[in-house]
């Protein structure tokens, strides 16, 4: 049995996730995902 976390770990991890999301959106990754997901990616479905 390993002690891996304290009571703050989930809160800090959750907040870090939200901050990373915001940072990603700020650096244009939302648009990048939108661009990729709006086109049929033949390679992604095993055709190309």
Partner 1 sequence: MVKVGPGGLRRIRRTVQFAALFIANGYWPGLGRAEIYSGPAKGVCVPFLNCYSCPAALFACPLGSIQSLLAAARTLSVYVGGMMLAAGFAVGRLFCGWLCPFGLLQDALALPRARQVRIPRWIRAFKYVLLALVIVLPVAWVSAGVGVPFYCKFFCPAGTLEGGLVLVLGRPEIRVNIGWLFAWKVAVLALFLGLMPFVYRVFCRTACPLGAFYGLFNQVSLWRVERDRGRCKSCGSCEEICPVGVPVTKNPNHTECIRCLECTKACPYGALVFTVMEARNHKVKLEL
Point out which residues bind partner 1 (CB under 8 A): 1-7, 9-11, 13-14, 16-25, 27, 29-34, 36-48
- Shortest spacing between CB 30 and partner 1, in angstroms: 5
SS3 string, 3-39, reads CCCCCCHHHHHHHHHHHHHHHHHHCCHHHHHHHHHCC
- Shortest spacing between CB 11 and partner 1, in angstroms: 7
């Amino acid at each position: 049995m390993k002690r891996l976390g304290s009571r703050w770990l989930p809160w800090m991890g959750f907040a870090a996730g939200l901050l990373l999301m915001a940072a990603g959106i700020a650096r244009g990754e939302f648009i990048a995902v939108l661009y990729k997901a709006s086109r049929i990616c033949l390679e992604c479905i095993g055709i190309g």
